[in-house]
Amino acid sequence: MIKEIKGVCFLHSETGMEGGRWAMQQDGFADEDGYWSYQGLQHLEEGDDFTVFADNGSVLWHGTIRRDTKTGAVPRRVIRKGKVVTDRSWKKQVAGGMWVHWIQKGIDPEEWGKLFIGERRCLVRREEKT
């Protein structure tokens, strides 16, 4: 069975995540002060049917989520023995100046990242897990 989830899309990042995850905040999950709750946090998953809408309701992007973890990956700068060095074995992708865990396959990382700015309305359709 297909589940439809409506909400707003954003880049979810917290201390310890070592990069952001593309996500949405599902409608109807907020506390009495209007702040989003973790119960409504939905990270995008491989195979999701995902749509992002413009303010006027037109479709900005629609497609199936296909994660790409290699395109545009850059080595991280780390501190070793008190010195900043480039660790070429530890790479992360970047979108909008933020480390991310993946980007959408076939899309420029910067263009993909722009879809998640400004709390745009979105819709996810995914297979319900049984």
69-123 pLDDT, tens digit per residue, is 998 888 888 889 999 999 888 888 999 888 899 999 999 999 999 999 999 999 9
% pLDDT > 70, the chain = 100
Widest Cα–Cα separation across the chain: 54
CA angle 76–65–8, rounded 5-degree value: 90
47-72: average pLDDT:
96
Return d(Cα 97, Cα 113) in angstroms, integer: 10
Mean pLDDT of 14-28: 92
| Rounded Cα gap, residues 7 and 24, in angstroms | 6
Q: How close are the terminal C-alpha atoms of the chain, in Å?
A: 9
Taken in order 84, 85, 86, 92, the sign of the CA dihedral is negative
Residues of the domain holding 64: 2-127
Look up the pTM and report it: 0.87
pLDDT value of residue 125: 98
- The number of distinct structural domains making up the chain is 1
Spatial separation of the C-alpha atoms in residues 48 and 79, rounded to whole Å: 38
How would residue 3 be classed by pLDDT, with cut points 50, 70 and 90? very high
